[in-house]
Every structure is written in C-alpha cells, then in structure tokens.
Structure 1
Amino acid sequence: MKQRKSKKKIKIAKHLFLFTSSVIILVMVSLGIYQTYAALTDRDKVQNDFRVGNIQTEIEEEFTPPNTFVPDKVYEKKVVVKNTGEQDIFVRVLALPSIIKKQDNGSVLLLPATSEGTNPILSIDYNLTDWIDGKDGYFYYKKKVAKAGQTTVLFTKVQMNQANITEDYTDASLTFEIKAEAIGITKFAYRDAWWNAQIPSKVPLLDVDNLLKGQTSNS
C-alpha cells in the first residue's frame, strides 16, 4: 500500500464489549501516516461457563488496556482456560477473528482476517506446543486438565499488520471471539461430543485423537 504524501490523522473509537462467550475488540484503521486513538475499558476478563453435569470451565485473560491501539503495535493478551468443575476434562477453544465493515447502504462486508499464509492481516502467537490447531476453527489442548487446574496460554499477543491492510479496511472493525468447550475424560466422550462419535480420518484431528485416547478413563 502506497504511503500518502499528506499525513492524515483519523480519530477512532475502540470499544471492548464483554460477552459470556466472546471477546470483542473494535479497531478502526486508517491509511497512510496516521494516529489511532482508543477508548478502552479498564478490564478485559472473559468468563465462559460450559456445563455438562458437573463440568465447568472459565476463560480468563490477562490484559492491560492501552491508552491507544495502533496497528503494527504488539498487544499482550494471555488467554487460558480454567477447570472450575469437579472432574478432569478435555478442552478445545474456538478462536475466531473476523473483520467487518459497515457499508453506506447499511449492509455489512466481511473482510479477510487471516493469521496464516502470505501477507497475513493479523499476527497471533498461538501456542502450538501445548495446543493443536484442528483446522476446524478449534484449538485442542493436548492434555487433560485436572480439577482446579488450567491450560497453558493459548496465545499471548495480537497485532494487526498495517503493511497488509488495503484501503478497504478503513473504518473496519476486528472481532475476536473466544469460546471454550469441555468434556469429561470418560472413554470416548470427546468423540461423541466433538466429532459425532467418529474417529477422525485425517490430520490434524487424527493427531488430536491419538493424543487424547490414551488419557481417557473407563468411568
């Protein structure tokens, strides 16, 4: 994207809404040389309750809201899932970034929000040591999570890459939904709940199955 000769400053508002199962980050983007301002809440903690019997999880984030939110700047966001229930569990997390833009006619345009491949729009440091990207929208934790335990971080940093943003992204907003799902370790409850009782035939889900099946319990 060519840099404009004139320096254009566009004030934007970034509001962070907290939902039961999602994190919403609104980011307004400008072109050329610019400065972006944000109005953030003083808390960025997401709680998600997913109950099946006595299974319960909670999403928790560590996040210190900045006074400004600027593309190309790295922001720390540490996402973990806690087991607040009464039994050991397996965990998967939906991490779904999307970028939308309201059109003049009132419709909404969905823009690419890639974090992989060439020229990614977003940079997110997913922890692929302890988690597996299932390529189905979910990240699967490799180990069972004991009662009162928690996962390691799913990711810690988020960045929007200005160099890969076209003018279509002007005044667009970034939505990042985080949703946790948990299931007991009874053999083979995770297959029933997540894959319609089927054994995956292809990687990476086959890799997930191979890791989890040895950690299941008969009761």
Structure 2
Amino acid sequence: MVAEWRTDMKNTKKIKIMAGLLALALVAGTLAYFMKTMSVDNPFSTKKYGGETVEKFTPENEWEPGGQVTKEVQAKNTGDYDLYVRVKFDEKWERDGQVIAGTELSSADKANFFPASADSSIAGGSSVYKHLAGVEDGSWTDGNDGYFYYKTKLGKDQMTSQLMDYVTLCKDANMGTYAVSEMKYALVDATKTAEDLTDADYTLTSAPDVIPDGKVLYQKKVVSLDSANAGLAGANYTLTITTELLQANADAAAENGWAVTPA
C-alpha cells in the first residue's frame, strides 16, 4: 500500500515591527531633537503540520469469487493545522511478477474501476467491487476527477469516517479456463480404495484391455489451466490508496487543483 502526504505552505508571513520614539526638548532656547529607533525581535514558532493514513487490510491467501475482504480506509490529522483530505485508488493484478494486461486501472477511470455490485465484473474493466461506505453515508463526495473528498475540514486529532470498508472479488470474475491435460491409471489390488492411492500408483497412461482377477483399475484426470486463457487464476491483487492532505485553505485548494473545497 502506498500513502502520500503533501504539504503546501506558499504564503510566508513577514512581520516587521518598528517602534520609534521622538523626543522634543527645548533647552536654553535651543531646539534639539532626540530620536531613538527601537528594534523588537518577535519570536514565532510554526505549528506541527502533518497527517497519516489509517487503514486496515485483512488479506486472504486464496481469494475466491464472491469473497469479501475487509479494507478500511480513513485518515487522521496528527498535526495542529486543520486539513483537507482527498483519496484516490489504483489497482493491478500480477502473475509471476508481471502485470496482467488490462488490469492496471485507476479511480480516474470511474466507468471501468467501480463495478456496480459484487455480482458482476466490468467487461474490460475491474473485477473487484469496492464498497464506499463514506460516499453512501454522505461524509465523502466524488470529485469526478479520480479523487474522493472528505466533505469537512479535519481538525487536530480528528479522524475521518471510513471512505471504504471492504472489497469483494466479483462472483463472475474470470478465473481462467481449465481442461483435461492428461489421463492416468492405477492397476492395484482389489482390496485398495481410491483413498489408499498416491500419485506413485498411477503409473499407466492408458487403460489396459484386460483387468486381471484380484485387481481393480482407477482412473485419474489431470486438469490444467490453459495458460493462454488464465484469467485471474493464481494472480496477486494490489490496491494502492493515495491519501493527500492539504492545509485547510481555499486558495491552496484551488492552486493545487482540488475539485472540491471542503466546508
């Protein structure tokens, strides 16, 4: 998972304080001016500015179609400034370290990234349903620019509501095409059951024409994945969540291309 923090403090306040003292004295009929320039040093310290991504991901070793996985996404302000928060998503599927063609997608491509339900994948798009609880409850809004915006500014030590709470591998996800690649046979004593056999017993590649007395023939089909039509079988899914935190300032939001200015 990747979380991105970004700060932008473009306005530097310059403070100059000068105090002048002008004394006018009349001494023995002589007009004299006395001027003193007083310089005052004003120490200022900046407040802490920062944030962190707070998320919980519970992976499963063998994710199957229809399987729901907890994926909680929210942000917390650990600094002193009020913050604006927005989040974007990217995903990909990899097999043997290589990205599977057509599976590298972004929330900027909303039509292909967000299946309408966990029942159906998007043809040519994502096979993972993302449940956006924060959009449903109205605390987050879609900026239609690939980002989801928390609708109110985030104060010190405050935490957003959950934008996402779980993901589901769609029930019709393409898990590849399988075919019988080999038939094997075991000719063993009739006293043996199928549960007694091991791979070492399947030594024949074709069935004998005659089965001797006292023997029994077992058949085993070897089913293999069609490498040309492997789908998502044996692949690893990665969902990358990028959280951007910005000082709560409308001008800063406009300058940094934020489509939504939180209240």
TM over 0.5: yes
- The TM tier, using the shorter chain, reads 0.5 to 0.7
Amino acid at match of 1:141: Y
TM norm structure 1: 0.59
Give the match for residue 144 of structure 2. 135
Q: 1:150 is matched with which residue: 159, 166, 170? A: 159
Partner of 2:164, secondary structure, is coil
1:83 to 64, 69, 77: 77
What's the TM-score once normalised by structure 2's chain length? Answer: 0.50
Partner of 2:212: none
Cα distance in 2 between the residues matched to 1:171 and 1:186: 47
Query: 1:56: Cα distance to partner?
Result: 1.3
Aligned CA-pair RMSD: 2.8
SS of equivalent to 1:146: coil
Taking only the aligned residue pairs, the percentage that are identical comes to 25
Alignment check: 8 A CA contact 2:70 2:166 kept: yes
Counterparts of 2:140 and 2:85 in 1: how far apart (Å)?
10
Q: Cα gap change, 1:191/1:87 in structure 2, threshold over 3 Å: closer, same or farther?
A: same
The 3-state SS of whatever aligns with 2:148 is strand
Q: Is the 8 A contact 1:102 1:109 kept in 2?
A: no
CA deviation digits over 1:84-111, x for unaligned, max 9? 11110111011222334459xx675232
Question: Among residues 101, 104, 113, which one is paired with 1:109 in the alignment?
Answer: 101
| 134 and 108 in structure 1: CA distance in 2 versus 1, 3 angstrom threshold | same
Which structure's CA Rg is the greater one? 2
Encode CA deviations 1:116-166: one digit per residue, 9 max, x unaligned: 358331111112121112232211111100011111001111111141325
Paired residue total: 154
2-structure distance, mates of 1:108, 1:64: 23
Structure 2: gaps of 5 or more residues: 10-47, 106-112, 122-126, 177-230
Segment drifting more, 159-168 vs 62-71:
62-71
Give the Å deviation of 1:57. 1.5
Gaps of 5+ in 1: 1-17, 22-47, 196-204
